[in-house]
Amino acid sequence: MNGFNDYSIESFRRDFLSGTIVGVIAIPLGMAFAIASGVKPEYGIYTTIIAGILISLFGGSKFQIAGPTGAFIPVLLGVVMTYGYENLLIAGFMAGIMLFLMGLFKLGSLIKYIPRPVTIGFTSGIAVIIFTGQIASFLGLTGIKKHEEFIANIGEIVQHFNTINIYSVITSAICLVIILLTPKWVPKVPGPLIGLLVSTLVATLFFSGQVATIGSAYGEIPNNLPSFHLPDFSLEKMMLMLQPAFVIAILGGIESLLSAVVADGMSGTKHNSNKELIGQGIANMVTPLFGGIPATGAIARTATNIKNGAVSPMSGIIHGLIVLLVLLLFAPYASHIPLASMAPILMVVAWNMSERKAFAHVLFTKTSDSFILVITFLLTVFSNLTIAVEVGLILAAILFVKRMSGLLTVAKVLPDHSSEDKKVAPYVVHDGHDCPQIGIFTIEGPLFFGAAQMFEQSIMSTINHRPLVLILRMGKVPYMDTTGEGTLTSIVRHYQKHGGTILISGIQAQPMEVLRKTGLLHEIGNNHFFEHTGDAIDYALTHLNYHKCVGCRNFAFQECSQLSKHQEIGGKMTLQV
């Protein structure tokens, strides 16, 4: 376990304080997330305890606080409604295996390549789903049926709006006001907990029996440890839950590593992404065996942990133990908590996770990223997270390839004799000033599948006269894939077939390695590769058909004035004196 070098009594004191504060905050959140996910509130508590302790023990982030999170709500609710709670446990366990393997095979760094517009899009979409999902509880509506579809849930609210309960609205409003004002008045006090306690007390004293409570909706919360239960891991059920498990694993990986990055930024530390995934995997394999739901790193709770002075993973362990202690001592009292008191907590969570500023920033750039953002957001809200992320990633990949292909430029060049360094430049080439025997091209940008066709067309369309020597300046080609290599091979073979010579100058290490592995290096010839363009030109000038040089007035190279004066004496070419 990392983070325990030079651990002291003072370190434990700070960890105990931060762990206690975060543990107190995690209690209402754990219950709220569980209820919103369609399961009993105690399952959220069990998840907070078990996952919180295990991820602190085995994870790769020093300050990570894990447990149920808002990001999982739409996914878990969809799984529960479609497959049932028992199958959710199977999906959670399988997701744990996937996360463990992702960490074991060092795939942690790959998750950071998910484009930000995609993560902002689905996070904002999830926030909308969570917020709207709490409107019914906030207003105390009755007769509401939960659906997977966003539109159907909004329809339920509209249809049953006339069942609004004024007592629920008052209870919700009290909790909401306290949550919003507490950070301003007493920032050290956890607003959600105070809001929950005060609104519950008001509802119990003045509206008893008038508002729905956790007890009336889900029964009394047991004040004992969760019992071990092995789900039915049949092959049929595991195949059925493969896709939901994959979605849970990917979302859990993204959320936990984002949280770890935030923790790094706040604390100046550096997390181990692969170890973090392994810790997440272990926790998500164990938690379902005790009835818990999938867990991941919680950004807000992790930030709170750091702000309150945590120095090691011990704070996360203490956070889990505090929740366990509260469960054992006070669980029966939680049954009196009104559902209306839970709604504002989740609404505030949704508002905070919505990334509205980042959303607006990307949206107003009016670029392809804006398009990806909007599509991912709309699909998350109106379809589901799986399709949203898949489409978002595909769109991002397509648009990235399009942008990258536009970076490749191919230009015909010649030396500029008017400049001191005699460097080659495209503006030198024009009608009446070009060499019919030597063609020089500068290629800049990645030579990959998205740009290979343009590369081939640019070269072939400008060498119809087939110069005797073709020089390709590849010093600014940072990357070449096998499609780019295949296109280059086609040009080389076409050229050599007609008696031409290919010379390459300034090629970088990666493209050179590709040519070596494919055998094209040997096919072109080692002696046809040059470090500098000048050396390639000198070599080319010794392989010309000097008959064609006689009388040429293009003077593309400095040597041309001499070569054009050659005359044939005794069957040999010589200079005219």
pLDDT in tens, 520-563: 999 999 999 999 999 999 999 888 887 778 777 777 787 777 77
DSSP code string of 422-455? --EEGGG-BTTB--SSEEEEEEES-BSTTTHHHH
- What is the pLDDT, as a whole number, of residue 565? 66
Q: Which residue has the higher pLDDT, 498 or 515?
A: 515
List, in sequence order, the alpha helices (H) in 8-109: 9-36, 41-58, 73-83, 85-104
Comparing C-alpha atoms, which of 256, 260, 252, 242 is closest to residue 72?
252
- What is the pLDDT, as a whole number, of residue 113? 81
What is the rounded average pLDDT of the residues 156-164? Answer: 95
Residue 288 has pLDDT above 50, yes or no: yes
Q: Which residue has the tokens 């769109």?
A: 395
- What is the pLDDT, as a whole number, of residue 570? 39
Distance (Å, whole) CA 238 – CA 87: 9
Half-sphere exposure (Cβ direction) of 67: Cα atoms closer than 13 Å: 33
Residue 73 has pLDDT above 80, yes or no: yes
What does the pLDDT look like over 45-62, one tens digit per residue? 999 999 999 999 999 999
Domains (range + CATH), the chain: 13-352 (no CATH), 409-431+438-542 (3.30.750.24)
SS3 content of the chain, % helix, strand, coil (to 5): 65, 10, 30
Q: Which residue has the tokens 């007609």?
A: 498
Distance (Å, whole) CA 143 – CA 145: 6
Residue 568 has pLDDT above 60, yes or no: no
Residue 297 has pLDDT above 90, yes or no: yes
According to DSSP, residue 143 is labeled S
Contact at 8 Å (CB) between 66 and 52?
yes
Q: How confident is residue 575, by pLDDT bands cut at 50, 70 and 90? A: very low
- What is the pLDDT, as a whole number, of residue 461? 78
Identify the three-state secondary structure at position 232: coil
Distance (Å, whole) CA 500 – CA 428: 24
Q: Which residue has the tokens 């041309």?
A: 560
- What is the pLDDT, as a whole number, of residue 186? 86
Distance (Å, whole) CA 244 – CA 29: 23
Phi, psi of 97 (to 5 degrees): -60, -45
Identify the three-state secondary structure at position 1: coil
According to DSSP, residue 293 is labeled P
Q: Which residue has the higher pLDDT, 182 or 554?
A: 182
Residue 355 has pLDDT above 70, yes or no: yes
What does the pLDDT look like over 372-394, one tens digit per residue? 999 999 999 998 888 998 899 99
What does the pLDDT look like over 207-243, one tens digit per residue? 888 999 999 988 889 988 888 999 999 999 999 999 9
Q: What HEC string does 455-505 produce?
A: HHHHHHCCCCCCCCEEEEEEEECCCECHHHHHHHHHHHHHHHHCCCEEEEE
Residue 296 has pLDDT above 90, yes or no: yes
- What is the pLDDT, as a whole number, of residue 577? 32
What is the rounded average pLDDT of the residues 31-43? Answer: 94
- What is the pLDDT, as a whole number, of residue 1? 52
Q: How confident is residue 567, by pLDDT bands cut at 50, 70 and 90? A: very low
Distance (Å, whole) CA 193 – CA 435: 81
What is the rounded average pLDDT of the residues 249-253? Answer: 93
What is the rounded average pLDDT of the residues 332-342? Answer: 92
